[in-house]
Amino acid sequence: MSKYDFDFFVVGAGSGGVRAARMAANFGARVAVAEERYFGGTCVNVGCIPKKLFVYASRLREDLAVAPGYGWTVPPASFDWPTLVRNKDEEITRLNGVYERILRGAGCEILNGRATLVGPHTVEVAGRRISAEHILVATGGWPSVPDLPGREHIMTSNEIFHLERLPRRMVVVGGGYIAVEFAGILQGLGCEVTQLYRGKLFLRGFDDEIRAFLAEQMRHKGVDLRFDSDVARIDRHGDALRLVLNDGSHLDCDGVLYATGRHPNSANLGLEACGVKLDGAGAIVVDDEYRTSVPSIRAVGDVTNRVNLTPVALAEGMAVARRLFAGMRYEVDYDYIPTAVFSQPPIGTVGLGEEEARRKYGALDIYTSSFTPLRFTISPVKEKAFMKLIVEKAGQRVVGLHMCGEDAGEITQGFAVAMRAGATKQVFDTTIGIHPTAAEEFVTMREPTRST
């Protein structure tokens, strides 16, 4: 008989934690899961799922505007924010239940409450001390809000999903995924949107041409983008807010959304007292088997602040369960991870941007194409798409694929499989395209735009 209450104790029932717990239980482990907030973590509750539902809602206004070009007479439309919030909440509640049933169905014991670590093999939940041979920390991340005068007026991506009413004039501060996505969502739902970013161009880390193209398209859709701009102070004037900017100018609005980054949710978990090493940002430091500095404690997902994507947390959770309870050496491959930004228009990308590819490979062949997708050719609404292939010159392997345009995420997922398999430009060239689609452009770009 084991000297521990459980074989595996998981702190956090988000994507990575639930996957690890369920798989470990299926392998025969005795598993407990503690969750203090909501099942499904950030992605299900205040991240990927509700955000994508809001994207769908916001795109419908443009769909209605496109319709007359196709012969449809559309009556005056109106939008009701409470209806969207209510229907979103119902779906999230359903998903919360799905996650809980998955865990219970696998035989996991669920503890509703905050878990803190009090030793290498011990956690405490609601005054109860529980021992486990292995502990997994999968507590995710949390929005960061800067310390500036008036910060009490700021909302984050946690709060915006639950507003009672939608502000008419919105300012979005930030330049990452969440900021550009909400700028598009809010504009599509009828808000007057200004997006501020302190850098020269948003989406740092993405290919520069893709970043510039998206900025052009967002401005075309009516988002007021202001780069090299930041907020110094926020004051309330009646029902409105006044933002004093770093150049001394001011901006009046009805709501301010800060999406200036997230930090690992590692505070007040007892990690330091147990000897678990954290880096300067508060992320749990792990090795290639997700072990912390305490061998019995492991960590996956955003709390490690490495590749902060839901599918990566899922893969890491599977890796831990397989290693510990199935004797399988399963390694997550972090190369060629596809990702999408659900901006409007969306971005899909896999592999390296041009600047990074040049540092790694030197000589490159670059293929680009910009065009009006067929849907917009007879529409009163106009939108363009941009596609780019980056090919390392010596071996002709496609090392970067980038798109900004309708269905970019859906298109990129399929090409990611080919790129992970090592597809060369010749493989792309000899693949028959599906006509008429935007995706076929990736297999019909014959001549390099430039070679470097």
Specify the pLDDT at position 330: 84
435 is catalytic: yes
Tens of pLDDT along 178-199? 999 999 999 999 999 999 999 9
Do domains 6-142+263-325 and 339-451 share one topology? The answer is no
Instruction: Provide the percentage of residues in the chain whose pLDDT is more than 70.
Output: 100
What DSSP assignment string belongs to 316-344? HHHHHHHHHHS--------TT--EEE--S
Tens of pLDDT along 239-278? 999 999 999 999 999 999 999 999 999 999 999 999 999 9
Active-site residue, selected from the candidate residues 121, 237, 250, 435: 435
Q: Does an H or E element contain 419, and which?
A: helix 408-420
Tens of pLDDT along 331-346? 899 999 999 999 999 9
Confidence band of 1 (pLDDT split at 50, 70, 90): low
CATH second-level architecture of 6-142+263-325? 3-Layer(bba) Sandwich (3.50)
The residue type at 248? G
Tens of pLDDT along 302-321? 999 999 999 999 999 999 99
Q: Where are the domains of the chain?
A: 6-142+263-325, 151-260, 339-451
- Report the chain's mean pLDDT, rounded to a whole number: 97
Residues in contact with 78: Cβ distance below 8 Å, sequence separation at least 6, in sequence order: none
How large is the average pLDDT for residues 70-84?
95
Tell me how far CA of residue 428 lies from CA of 313, 363, 397, 425, in angstroms. Answer: 31, 19, 10, 5
Distance CA 225, CA 244 (A): 16
> Could you tell me the CATH superfamily of domain 151-260?
FAD/NAD(P)-binding domain (3.50.50.60)
Specify the pLDDT at position 381: 94
Specify the pLDDT at position 388: 98
Backbone torsion region of residue 371, taken as left when φ is above 0, otherwise alpha when ψ lies between -120 and 50, otherwise beta: beta
Distance CA 23, CA 27 (A): 6
Whether the model clears a pTM of 0.75, i.e. scores above it, the answer is yes
Tens of pLDDT along 422-440? 999 999 999 999 999 999 9
* CATH assignment of 339-451, among 3.30.2030.30, 3.40.718.10, 3.30.390.30, 3.40.630.30: 3.30.390.30
Residue 128 has pLDDT above 70, yes or no: yes
Helices 177-188 & 208-221 angle (0-180, nearest 10): 20
